[in-house]
Amino acid sequence: MSVDDFRRDAGAVRMMFNTLAVLAVGLCSAALAVESPVPHSANCPLTSFDAPALNRPKDPRQFGAKCDGLTDDSKAFQKAVNAGDVSIAAGVCIINKTVFVRASHRHIQCAPDTILKRTVSDAESMFVYEASAGLLVGDSIVNCNFVGANAVKPHIDFDAPGHWDIPVLTRDNVSNFLLAGNTFRQFYGQAMFQTTGANGGSGDRIVFNTFKSCPFYGPVFVGHMHGYVAYNKLVDCTAGVENDHPTDNTGGNIFECNRVSASEAVGSITGGVHGGTSNYSGNIVRYNVVVGENTTITVRPREGGRSAQYYGNSCTKGCRVD
């Protein structure tokens, strides 16, 4: 064997091992350690979450995305999501049009220093998970940094199209959705994550995210049951349940071990506030830390109905129970 043949064969072997290593990373889930927003205790013991395994993920750059902070990469992201799981390398990716996800077990994960950015306010959400076929199950978005075009002190006009400028929206029966380890800030929409529909699915897990500068909600369940919102940090944002109609599904939703504060606007947490005479008594709000002026734990439904269950929450330094 010549020296050139040896080098060529050695290079092939290295390439094979590198390929296998990439596949191993994609096929194995990992427990990602994170900092809890509340003091560690028996009631709030978690310090990590399990990121779903990726199955042969694609980067949107393979479909033409630039992620240069200038080019609208919406079409490339749509093609990547249509093809399967998505792993996004570092960069600033502009997504100014809606990317629709209509498949179950479709996972999106971002590398560190990845930013998913909107430079417009419009009547479109960034990612819409749509159960047009009747049911979506087990989708996820993990470790992404979402940045909108709103101000640090946000504003919203609920009569303007921009109130649908929502980063992640699920529509109708989307269940067991995981939103974990992400950061959201400065969108115009009424929420950063929202379920919709009279049957807004069940079993979503919203954990270890940071929500900042929300016109109103960070995460909100509409017509959703048995959801779990925990270990999130909310600054100038509300977390809660708000049904559109008294007959919308609700109950079994747990909001625990979140930290709510306010600096430029208001912060709040609630197990159910609007929705006419909705019965929110099956929802639980517990062991949350709500701190500072302009923060509240909102207990009473605004238009009547039945209140959720509240216990073990900390409300200090100007916080009010309303």
Would you state the pLDDT for residue 28?
57
Note the pTM of the prediction, 2 decimals. Answer: 0.90
Task: Give the mean pLDDT of 224-241.
Answer: 97
For residue 26, being part of any structural domain is answered with no
Domain holding 289, by residue range, is 31-321
For residue 58, being part of any structural domain is answered with yes
Q: Is 140 a residue whose pLDDT tops 70?
A: yes
Cβ–Cβ < 8 Å for 69, 96: no
Would you state the pLDDT for residue 289?
98
For residue 50, being part of any structural domain is answered with yes
Would you state the pLDDT for residue 185?
96
Would you state the pLDDT for residue 29?
72
Would you state the pLDDT for residue 18?
38
Would you state the pLDDT for residue 99?
98
Would you state the pLDDT for residue 121?
86
- Across the chain, mean pLDDT equals 90
* pLDDT more than 90, % of the chain: 76
Would you state the pLDDT for residue 136?
95
Cβ–Cβ < 8 Å for 167, 193: yes
Would you state the pLDDT for residue 21?
37
Return the CATH number at 205. 2.160.20.10
For residue 4, being part of any structural domain is answered with no
pLDDT tens-digit series, residues 104-124: 999 999 999 999 999 998 888
Q: Is 301 a residue whose pLDDT tops 90?
A: no
pLDDT tens-digit series, residues 148-184: 999 888 887 777 778 899 999 999 999 999 999 999 9
Question: CA geometry: angle at 260 spanning 254 and 264, to 5°?
Answer: 145
Would you state the pLDDT for residue 133?
66
Give the whole-angstrom CA distance, residue 15 versus residue 12: 5
Would you state the pLDDT for residue 3?
39
Would you state the pLDDT for residue 213?
94
For residue 106, being part of any structural domain is answered with yes
For residue 11, being part of any structural domain is answered with no
3-state SS, residue 191: coil
pLDDT tens-digit series, residues 57-97: 999 999 999 999 999 999 999 999 999 999 999 999 999 99
Task: Give the mean pLDDT of 176-201.
Answer: 95
Beta-bridge partners for 178: 140, 205
Beta-bridge partners for 221: 241
Number of domains in the chain: 1
Would you state the pLDDT for residue 304?
84
For residue 276, being part of any structural domain is answered with yes
Task: Give the mean pLDDT of 120-137.
Answer: 88
Give the whole-angstrom CA distance, residue 101 versus residue 126: 11
Q: Which tokens belong to 56?
A: 């042969």
For residue 244, being part of any structural domain is answered with yes
Write the CA distances from 149 to 194, 239, 244, integer angstroms: 19, 21, 27
